[in-house]
């Protein structure tokens, strides 16, 4: 397979400021940058880890659909959370999106994210084609 690189922008104004792409595809590997619950430039669902997780995963799913990428080929998720005691709410939202896919998943607690009102940040990894 020929290696190629495609950078796909999301909607965050920080992408150009910081110098990153929401999605990078190299060969058949799809990597999605850490995504938070930001809507119209402001944290979404402040104080609600479940709703932030749902919003993040819906945003990622919509990007996959928009770009014609197979959401069902996500094989790993990595969740950074500011309060691990909220793991059940975060996990429940994750399960709603990945109940049938069941990717490898990691959830780790971090001291903080880029904004104090953001409770969850999620990265996903996928392949264009599963063998």
* Residue 16: pLDDT over 80: yes
b/e map 112-123, b = 16+ CB within 10 Å: ebeeebbbbbbb
Q: What pTM, to 2 d.p., does this model score?
A: 0.93
Structural domains counted in the chain? 1
Mean pLDDT of the chain: 94
Residue 92 clears pLDDT 70, i.e. is over it: yes
State residue 2's pLDDT score. 59
Share of the chain above pLDDT 90, in %: 85
Structural domain of 46: 5-127
pLDDT digits (tens, 9 = 90+) for 94-121: 999 999 999 999 999 999 999 999 999 9
31 phi, psi to nearest 5 deg: -120, 130
1: pLDDT strictly greater than 70 = no
| pLDDT for 15 beyond 90 | no
Alpha helices of the chain — where are they, by DSSP H?
A: 14-18, 49-67, 87-98
CATH code of the domain covering residue 81: 3.30.1330.40
b/e burial code for range 27-50 (CB count within 10 A of at least 16 → b): eeebebbbbbbbeeeebbbeebbb
Q: Which two tokens stand for residue 83?
A: 């309060």
- CA 98 vs. chain centroid, Å, equals 12
């Amino acid at each position: 397979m020929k290696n190629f690189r495609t950078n796909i922008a999301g909607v965050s104004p920080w992408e150009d400021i910081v110098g990153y792409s929401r999605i990078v595809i190299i060969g058949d590997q799809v990597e999605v940058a850490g995504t938070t619950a930001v809507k119209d430039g402001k944290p979404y669902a402040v104080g609600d880890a479940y709703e932030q997780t749902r919003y993040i995963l819906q945003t990622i799913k919509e990007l996959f659909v928009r770009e014609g990428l197979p959401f069902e080929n996500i094989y790993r998720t990595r969740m950074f959370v500011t309060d691990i005691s909220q793991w059940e709410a975060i996990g429940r939202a994750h399960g709603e999106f990945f109940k049938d896919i069941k990717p490898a998943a990691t959830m780790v607690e971090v001291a903080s994210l880029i904004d104090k009102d953001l409770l969850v940040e999620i990265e996903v990894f996928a392949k264009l084609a599963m063998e």
